[in-house]
Structure formats: structure tokens, C-alpha cells
Amino acid sequence: MSRRGLSFFVFILASCLVTGAHALTPCQAHAIATGDSDSRIAALQAALTAGDERVPVLVGALLEGAVKVDAERAYIVRGEEVVEAGTGEAASLPDDAEDAINNNRMRGELEAALAALGLFSADISERRAALGTLVGNIDESKLPLLDKALAAETDASLRTEIELLRAVALVTSGSVAQRLAAAQALAAGDQASTRALLLDRLKPAAQGGENDPAVRKALNRAVDAIGSRLAWGERLGVVFTGLSLGSILLLAALGLAVTYGLMGVINMAHGELIMIGAYATWGVQNLFRAHAPDWFDSYVLVAIPVAFLASAAVGALMERSVIRWLYGRPLETLLATWGISLVLMQTVRSLFGAQNVPVENPSWLSGGIQVMSNLTLPWNRIFIIAFALLVLAGMALVIARTRLGLFVRSVTQNRPMAACMGVDTAKVDTLAFSLGAGVAGLAGCALSQVGNVGPDLGQGYIVDSFMVVVLGGVGQLAGTVYAALGLGVVNKLLEGWQGAVLAKIMVLVFIVIFIQKRPQGLFAIKGRSVEA
């Protein structure tokens, strides 16, 4: 745009502003809708700063391609309805009206303007989202809008973000002092996009980068500071993901800690018991969707006991029909339960199909909490960690403090003596196995909230579950906790270093070597032996 043309545009725009200092005039609307990009952007920024409620209507219509212009006016056309942009009054569309054309630059400015209007929303989440959108499309022209938003903002954290966004806009200022102050202020930021902008400013001066040595030094310090914070976010993300994986392994292994750790049954169908719990959750979800849609967000609370009871019932049937005849014969138990696992998978395929079935998170398990710019903790993962701890506490209470737990411990330690004391050992075996199977169902309920539910769901956790129980120490709940969480974190750390496949191999090799050196696992069962 020539200097004479720009001067003429400024004159026209000033005339428009005099006509209506705080209202979008037809003259302004026309200037936003037509002309070269520089003049349209300048008119748009002036209208945004004025804060008229008709501005977002015009911007949205421009993005939709619903604006036509003639020599003097702009019109919003939707179907048969035509209104004059600026006044909002009904109008007749002139014969010479043409479509308002937006190039890529103008479309980006319009989208940024629409986002910027969110800075004045009454909803703090909308204001925060608007700031996030503006980070990638900010320059000095938006300073008046940011200043207005800063003056109106009441939330301290958002005020800080707006101030940082102002610094991002000023880092390309024509004033060395402003660029230096902006670089120093941005050192407190933690956005990856801000770091990318600063790196762009650190290009050689011949390529359009910063040419002042003091400012370049401040930019380097800001880049290092932001990079350090982003690195911490990545590290914390890996740890949280590891704890999340560990909590899933803990849920999957807790049931096995009963059936294998306390009862000595090598249950290769344990993964299918997890799968049954997941399908029970899917069934409850469908019932709520069909018969109680208003209560859909509560389906998980109902699915938890249903998943437990469904898997416990299948476990009781397995114990009474097959496993009760195989106690003390681990090889036969392994082969029998492996056969049962194949039967259960084929049964599910016949009933529900071989494809995965969808399980939807309730609204309170959707989304997450943003801790850092590059670290968001999903609510469903947080729920699983808390749920695993609650199930662990319940298991410890049942085993250590209840009559059933006392009977289970007595039968596993000395079956003949327990029978002599009047304990119904067959009934205790069934209840204990059902308990372990029911906990596996709870693991399936939790897994349905983070992954696909299908006939092969449990196959991915059976080996890991056995590794957790053996590494922690057979019959030791505390060892199961340490082993599950430790394997989860270590596995995620190794994945970031060597990839998923090599990480799994390295974990397996470590466990093999560890068990060779310490067969009893992390925690050995305490006791005394008497030798003749």
C-alpha cells in the first residue's frame, strides 16, 4: 500500500471513528470487508478496540462468506435475509454488490479477531482459550486490544498470561528498549509457541532476526528458561504416564495376587476375567443410554459393582467346575485355565462380535487439568490412579481384617489344620477365587475408560500381571504395589529412550535376572522352618 493510499485510508477511518466512537458504523464495516489487506486489518483492529457487539457478527459472516459489498456499504446475506453491516437494519441488496474476498492472511486475521473477542467473555475458560489461540497470531497491532483486556481482567493468572502475550507482541517492536523489556518478560513464560517465536528472532540479522546484541542476549536467556520449564513438563508427563500405567497393572495384578499369590493357582484366564468386567461396563453404559439418558454420567458408578459381580460369578463357576479338582497341580491348572480363556474369548466373539465395542467416558471423566503448558493430566487417568488405590485399600482390609480374609490365610497356610478347626475349605476356596476374579472385573471396568474393549482385551495384561506378582513377591500385596508402579514408571522411561518394543524386552530381561538372584521377589513371606 502506498504512503498516499495509507494516508487517505487513515483519513477515511478517522472520519468513521468521529461518526461513532464506540459503535460499528457502516463506513467501518465497509472498510473491514473490502480493500487491501493492510487497510482492512487496520480497520478491524480499530473496531475490535471499540468493542461494539456487532463486530463479532460481521467477522463471523466474513469467515462464512456471507458478506457482499458495493461501492459504499457492506451487507450480510443469509438466504433471503439481507441486513446492512454496521447498523444491523434490513436492506435491499444492490445489483452491483459483489462477494467480499478473504485471502489467507485476512482469514487468519479474522479468525484471530474472533478469538480475541473471547478475552471479554464472562466465562474464564473462554478467556483462557482465547489467549491460547492468540499466542500463535500476535503482533504489535493487537496491543490496544490486549491493553483493554488487561484493564478488564480480574483473574491474577490470566492477567499474567495477558502481560506475557503483550511481551510477545512487543518483541518485534521498532524500539530497542521495548524489545529488550519484552525479551526479559518472556523469560517467565512456558509456552512452546513463545519459544519458537524467540528462536525465530534469534536468526541472523541478515535473515530478519534481532540485530541488537543486548536484546539477543536477553532472547537467549529467555529461550533457555522456557526450554527448561518445557523439559520439566515432559519429565513430569512421563512420570504421570508411568504411574497411570502402573495403576492399571496394579488393578490387573491385584486379583492375580489372590488367585496365584495366595491360592497358588496359575490362572491363564485372568485376562478374560478382566475382559468380562469391561464388557459388563459396556452393557451398563448401553442400558443407561437407552433407558436413563439423563443419568448417563452416573453409569460408571453402577458399572463398578456390576463388573465385579459378573467376573466374580464367572470365577466361581470356573473354581467349582474345573479348578477345585486341580489344587496342588500347577501344570494341569495352567493348561485347563488356558483352555477356559479360549472358550471365554470365543463366547464373547459369538455374543458381541469380534470387533471392539465403544465405551464412552462420562462428562466428569472427559478432558483434564492443565498443570503446565505442555502437561495436561486427563481426568480418566487420574480416576484410575485413585480407583486403584481404593481397590488396594479394600483388598488389604478384606485380607487382614475380615473373617473371610482370616479363613483364606488359614487355608493357604495349613489346609488340614483349618479343616480340623471347622473351616469349610471348599467354600473358602470358592469365595477367595471369586474375590480375585471380581477384582479382575474392576480392572476391566477401569480399562474400559482408557482403551478399546474387545475380546482380546485381557491378552495384553496377563503376562504383565504375572510379572508384577512374581517381582513383588508371591502373596505380598505391598510387593504387588511397588512392582506395579515401579514397572509402569520404568517402562515409560525406557520407552522414551529406546522405544516401546525394546523397553518391554529390557523390562523382561531385568525381571528374569532379578528373579534368578532373588527368587522370593521384593518382599519374601516371613516365617520359620523346623528341620529335623
Cβ burial 89-124 (10 Å sphere, 16+ → b, else e) = eebeeeeebeebebeeebeebbebbbbbbbbbeeee
Q: Per residue in 21-76, pLDDT tens? A: 456 788 888 888 888 888 888 888 777 776 667 788 888 888 888 888 888 888 88
- Judged against a pLDDT cut of 70, whether residue 12 lies above it is answered with no
Q: Where in the chain are the domains? A: 1-102, 238-517
Distance CA 475, CA 521 (A): 10
Q: Taking 70 as the threshold, does the pLDDT of residue 192 lie above it?
A: yes
pLDDT, tens digit (0-9, with 9 covering 90-100), for 198-212: 888 888 877 778 888
Tell me what pLDDT residue 442 has.
Answer: 93
Q: What is the pTM of this model?
A: 0.71
Q: How far is CA 50 from CA 1, 18, 136, 148, 177, in A?
A: 25, 12, 23, 10, 29
Nearest to 135 by CA among 177, 180, 189: 189
Is the confidence at residue 147, as pLDDT, over 90?
A: no
Separation CA 91–CA 410 (nearest Å)? 89
Q: CATH: 3.40.50, 1.25.40, 3.30.70, 1.10.3470. Which one for 238-517?
A: 1.10.3470
Query: Each residue of 101-111: pLDDT tens digit?
Result: 888 888 888 88
* CB of 444 closer than 8 Å to CB of 457: yes
Q: Which amino acid is at 43?
A: A
Cα–Cα dist 460/352, whole Å: 20
